[in-house]
Copies of this chain bind each other. A is one copy, B any other.
C-alpha cells in the first residue's frame, strides 16, 4: 500500500496523532476500546472531543438525548451540513468503529470552516456530531441518538431505557451533565464515514466505498418457554429444557446459511438470557435476539420461513413452546443516488480507487438519509473484523477517507448553498 502524503489535504494534518489520543479513552489491553454509552470512559472521550472542537474554533452543544454537536458557524442563521458518527462502543470493541468517523468529521468541517479563501459555500454552516448510544450494548435500542433526533424513536421512550443494573438513560444523562442543551439548528445535508466492518473493499482492492444500500433485515426476539427442573433427578423424557430448545434453534439457524449462496445471508443469535441460570437447574426460559440479513428480499423471506420450520422442530424435539416477535424489518434500503454519485465524483477526482458497496450493519446515516440528502462512505477494514479489539483500518486508508470526506462535505455545502438539494 502506498504511503499517504498528508501534505495533499490540510484536513489530514495531525489526524493520526488525534486518532491515537482519542483511542486512549477506554483503551483495552488487547488494543481496542470499551466505551459503552454514558460510562465514565464515554464521558471522558466526549470531554476530550469538546476540547478539540473548541480548539479548532467551534462551539459545543448537546440535545436532550445526549447527542454532541460541534458547530462551526460562518453565516448566522444559515442551514448546516452535518458530519459525524458515534464514539460509543461495544464491550471490548475496536477503536475505529464510529470514532473514526467523528474525528474525520471534525477534521473535515474545521478545515473547511478555516479556509482563508472561502468557497462558494460560505453561506452554509458546518457541524460535526457525535451521536449518543449508536451501539445499543448498554441501552437498547441501538442508534438511539440519531433515532430520537430524526423522530423515529420517542425521546421519553429512549430516556426510560435501562441498562443491566437498572440505570435509565435519563439517569445516565443527568450524571453525565452534558451542557449546554440547545435546540439544534436546521440541517440541510448529512455525511458519514465509517469503517466497512466487512471485506468487500479489501477483497477488491478499493480504498473508498460508496454506500448505495443497506442489506435487508429481519430481527426477532425469541423466547423459549420450558419447565424448570433438577438437572440430576428429572428424567430426560420428562424434561422441557428451554436451553436445549434454544440450542437447537441457534444451531439450525446457523446451518441454514449453508443452504444459500455464500455471502447472501447472515443469521445470528445474540444477547441470550437464561432463567434461572442456576447450577443443577434446567432452564425454564431462554430469551435471545435472532437476526437475519440479506441483500436479497427473496432470500430473506425464505430465511424467515425456514426459521418458522426450525422453531417448530425445536418445539417438538425439546417439548418447549417458542414465541418469536418480529422487532425490526426492512428490505434492501437504498441510499440517495445523488449522494453516491457526488462521492464517486470526489473519489475519482482525488484519484482514489472506489466502488459501490452495500452496508450490512445499520448506521446513524440510516436514520439521517430519511430526512436530508445523505452521503455514506466506507474505508477498508482489515479482514472485515469488527466489534473486536483486533478491528483495524490502516493509516493510509484512514487519511484517504478524511480527504474524500472533506471534499464531499465541501461539495455538499456548495450544493446546499446553490439550492441544488
Contact = CB atoms under 8 A, between A and B. Distances in A.
B244 A197 contact: no
A246 B246 CA distance: 11
Contacts of A388: 227-229, 284
A280 B270 CA distance: 6
Contacts of A234: 197-198, 266, 384-387
Given A140-B279, A387-B280, A387-B281, A243 B233 contact: no
B250 A237 contact: no
Nearest to A91: B276
Number of copies: 2
A418 interface: no
A199 interface: yes
A270 B283 contact: yes
A269 interface: yes
Contact of A215 (B93, B227, B232): B232
A14 to B, nearest CB: 29
Interface in A97-153: 135-137, 140, 142
Contacts of A196: 233
Contacts of A278: 90-91, 135-137, 270-271
Interface string A226-268: 0111111111111001011011101100100100001101111
Contacts of A289: 279-280
Given A198-B235, A230-B387, A281 B137 contact: yes
Contact of A254 (B241, B262, B267): B241
A282 interface: yes
Interface residues of A, number: 74
Given A91-B276, A234-B386, A281-B387, 12 more contacts: A91-B275, A198-B234, A227-B388, A229-B388, A238-B383, A238-B384, A247-B254, A268-B282, A270-B280, A270-B282, A271-B281, A272-B274
The 9 residue pairs across chains A and B that have the minimum distance between CB atoms: A231-B268, A247-B250, A91-B276, A137-B278, A197-B233, A247-B247, A232-B361, A233-B360, A230-B387
Interface of A: 90-93, 135-137, 140, 142, 196-199, 215, 217, 227-238, 241, 243-244, 246-248, 250-251, 254, 257, 262-263, 265-284, 289, 291, 293, 359-362, 383-390
29 contacts: A91-B276, A136-B278, A137-B278, A197-B233, A227-B385, A228-B387, A229-B388, A230-B360, A230-B361, A231-B291, A233-B360, A234-B384, A234-B385, A236-B254, A236-B263, A236-B266, A241-B268, A243-B270, A243-B272, A244-B250, A246-B247, A247-B248, A268-B280, A268-B282, A270-B277, A272-B274, A280-B361, A280-B387, A281-B387
